[in-house]
């Protein structure tokens, strides 16, 4: 039996509080609690599959990094009423779209990932969408925000 260490105090015997399937059964989400410091955290158990490679603008191929996508989305959602579960679902949808593209024989590019994030954020939170778009699309001034806001209003 493998023990899960508490990320705060490193206690080696955390307790599972809740366990449920997510992603249509492809992942098990576990809420855990540390009996030592009472910290609560979430872990995920996933079936390992073939690595999903992303083609960068430089031509380099790197492994898809869920944490990198989640970190960018969390930054865009800072101070907004967007839950961790909403962010996890968004990252799941982005990864699913990327895997579908790879399965269809298409290159999974950083552009595909960025646009998938924007599509998901558009539905989730408009302010987070604009924040992410301003970084992703490298806005230079107010005109860029106005243009993007006009595009946002069209959909």
Q: Which residues contact 8 (CB under 8 A, 6 or more apart)?
A: 34, 37, 39
Q: Is the pLDDT of residue 95 over 90?
A: yes
pLDDT over 70, % of the chain = 96
Q: Is the pLDDT of residue 86 over 90?
A: yes
What is the model's pLDDT at position 151?
A: 84
Which residue is listed with tokens 């493998």?
2
Angle 92-94-96 (CA atoms, 0-180°, nearest 5)?
A: 65
DSSP per residue, 87-119: HHHHHHHHHHHHHHHHHTT---BHHHHHHHHHH
What is the model's pLDDT at position 74?
A: 95
77: left (phi over 0), alpha (psi -120 to 50) or beta: alpha
Evaluate whether 17 touches 31 at the Cβ level (below 8 Å).
Answer: yes
101-151 pLDDT, tens digit per residue, is 988 888 899 999 999 999 999 999 999 999 999 998 888 899 988 988 888
* Token pair belonging to 71: 């970190």
pTM of the entire predicted model: 0.65
Q: 155: pLDDT confidence band, cut at 50, 70 and 90?
A: low
14-27 pLDDT, tens digit per residue, is 999 999 988 777 78
What is the model's pLDDT at position 80?
A: 93
């Amino acid at each position: 039996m493998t023990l899960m260490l508490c990320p705060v105090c490193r206690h080696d015997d955390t307790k599972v509080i809740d366990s449920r399937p997510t992603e249509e059964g492809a992942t098990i989400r576990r809420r855990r609690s540390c009996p030592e410091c009472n910290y609560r955290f979430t872990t995920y158990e996933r079936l390992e599959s073939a690595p999903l490679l992303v083609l960068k603008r430089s031509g380099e191929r790197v492994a898809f990094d869920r944490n990198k996508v989640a970190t960018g989305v969390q930054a865009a959602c800072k101070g907004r009423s967007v839950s961790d579960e909403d962010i996890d679902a968004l990252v799941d949808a982005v990864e699913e779209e990327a895997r579908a593209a790879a399965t269809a024989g298409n290159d999974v590019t950083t552009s595909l990932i960025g646009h998938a994030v924007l599509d998901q954020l558009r539905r989730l939170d408009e302010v987070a969408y604009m924040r992410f778009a301003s970084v992703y699309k490298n806005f230079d001034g107010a005109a860029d925000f106005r243009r993007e806001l006009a595009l946002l209003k069209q959909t």
